[in-house]
Amino acid sequence: MANTVYEVKEEKVDGLLLVFLIFLGWFGGDKFYAAKSFKGGWKFALIKFAYSIILLGLLWNIFDIIQACRKKYQLDFREYFR
């Protein structure tokens, strides 16, 4: 038998997304980066910013940072529950 080497491609964490989450995520800026356009991300950014005013956005952003580190970040928060 021949020695077969199997390689598993490992997905890398998106470093730029983490930077956006840490510095601009509190205001919804990460949604613009994840949507790749203003048109696709402004609704999600506005909702996240509104939740940040009542401090629920703080928990949402921490959750997004954890999900980005796990490589499971979603633009729409509802996608986590499907």
pLDDT at residue 2 above 80?
no
Q: What is the pLDDT of residues 32-82, one digit of tens each?
A: 888 888 888 888 889 888 988 888 888 889 999 999 999 888 888 788 787
pLDDT at residue 1 above 60?
no
DSSP E strands, 1-82:
none
Residue spans per domain, the chain: 25-74
3-class SS of residue 76: coil
pLDDT value, residue 23: 92
Q: Does the reported pTM lie above 0.85?
A: no
Rounded Cα distance between 66 and 69, Å, is: 5
